[in-house]
Amino acid sequence: MITIETAITFNDDLPDEVDVVVIGGGVNGVFAALNMRRKGLKVVVLEKGRIAGEQSSRNWGWIRQHGRDPAELPIMMEASQLWESFDKEVKGRTGFKRQGVLYLSQTEAAQEKRETWIDTAKEHGLNTVAISKDKLSNFIQRDSSTKDFWFGGVHTASDARAEPWQAIPAIAELAHSEGVIIRENCAVRALDIQAGQINAVVTEAGYIKTAQVVLAGGAWSSLFLRRHGINIPQLTVRASVARTEAIAEVATSNSADQGLAYRRREDGGYTVALTDFEEHFVGPDSFRHLSKWIKTGYQSRHDLKLRWTALKDTPAAWNVDRRWQADQITPFEKMRILDPAPTPGKIKLMQQRFAERFPQIGEPKILNAWAGMIDAMPDLVPIVDRVPQLPALIVSTGMSGHGFGIGPAFGRIIAQIACEEKSEHDLQRFRFSRFSDGSRLDIGPSI
């Protein structure tokens, strides 16, 4: 995990003018910048804190095709191949390993529900198969006396994993070596819009003239857009994650059931997280976007905990500034990295659930724990599109917890959009206007 104490790596001088300014140094921003540079564009990435300092280094590290929204799946399948290719370019520094994803079921009903997605996988030629109880031992090492903990599972062998905290900085170094200008600790305060056109971006360190901007600001995107009169129904949820000490291998694939997710790490430990607990901190946007979110919230009612006091200075907080002048200090400078504490008591629950599943290991020692604020859209798929009222602004946000794995492909798509090239993927599902054009809300899968 990357924090504000992490040393600044990129401190390039700000250029006077570029073809594209990328706001946000997470997975989408970095991959977009690299792809645009490879198309010959002059690009600068501006990050208010550290490259990959927020959700891009705080996620589970899964590179998952399994369970994706049907519209996302072809893009994710491309992303999986791109991860392997980029890992070779950076000489293995992403930690990429193609070791599969296994979703486990503790009841017959849960297994039947898991297996419904196999039809989608078959339509796209993905190697997802059902796993019976007697075959689980090929993937999970358990005490023989408790072998009936799971009823079965569904497995995608071509899925993969990587180490988020090192993967995105490695790609950023690759992009930097190819000419992408990168500046950490440099917030973009506003867009300079003249006669309905973007003329420049205003940063805390000065102006950069540009014809196009990519906003990949994660949890902060909605706040930045709202300052310019552009509204999206994006909210955030807090999810806690922990890292165990090095222990014996108990699962060869990234695995999850109704209560716990875990994946093997390069350091010999496991990244663990709860699959049935997330928190939303209620703030002004919660009420503003209630009509868009009420159906999704109802579906998530068993797993989503509402907190009625938003964390101070975060994008959802009641106290955060929502209007500011371009020469004023902004919320992005007041909180360089959104670094929420993990939820009290939940790390202990992770240990207990791990011991239930693997009694031969017991409760693993936790070396450190953290939390991230996941930017989400009501239909659980992102916006990746130009803003209709300001076409020079490309928005890539609301990844809904799926952004790390799919980032390389959306980065390539953003570059195509910037260059006015037609994508081979159908991007209608990710259009900016879908929340205002009268379309029916089609909620994607949350796993």
89 domain residue, yes or no: yes
- Give the domain range for residue 226: 17-435
Q: What is the C-alpha end-to-end distance of the chain, expressed in Å?
A: 22
Task: Please name the residues in contact with 436: beta carbons below 8 A apart, sequence gap of 6 or more.
Answer: none
**pLDDT value for 108:** 96
**pLDDT value for 146:** 64
Q: How far is CA 408 from CA 29, 144, 401, 404, in A?
A: 10, 41, 15, 8
**pLDDT value for 145:** 63
10 domain residue, yes or no: no
7 domain residue, yes or no: no
Number of folded domains in the chain?
1
* Alpha-carbon 85 to chain mean position: 20
- Residues 415 and 22: their CA atoms lie apart, in Å, by 11
Structure tokens at 157: 């062998």
94 domain residue, yes or no: yes
Write down the pTM of the prediction.
Answer: 0.97
**pLDDT value for 206:** 97
266 domain residue, yes or no: yes
In 3D space, the residue among 23, 348, 413 whose CA is nearest the CA of residue 187 turns out to be 23
**pLDDT value for 416:** 98
Give me the residue label for tokens 């195509």: 416
67 domain residue, yes or no: yes
417 domain residue, yes or no: yes
- Residue 400 CB-half CA count within 13 A: 20
Sign of torsion over alpha carbons 443, 75, 396, 257: positive
The CATH number of whichever domain residue 104 belongs to comes to: 3.50.50.60
Per-residue pLDDT of the chain (447 residues; tens, 9 = 90+): 899 899 999 999 999 999 999 999 999 999 999 999 999 999 999 999 999 999 999 999 999 999 999 999 999 999 999 999 999 999 999 999 999 999 999 999 999 999 999 999 999 999 999 999 999 999 998 877 666 899 999 999 999 999 999 999 999 999 999 999 999 999 999 999 999 999 999 999 999 999 999 999 999 999 999 999 999 999 999 999 999 999 999 998 999 999 999 999 999 999 999 999 999 999 999 999 999 999 999 999 899 999 998 788 899 899 999 999 999 999 999 999 999 999 999 999 999 999 999 999 999 999 999 999 999 999 999 999 999 999 999 999 999 998 999 999 999 999 999 999 999 999 999 999 999 999 999 999 876
Residue 146 — φ and ψ, nearest 5°? -125, 35
Cβ atoms within 10 Å, residue 259: 17
12 domain residue, yes or no: no
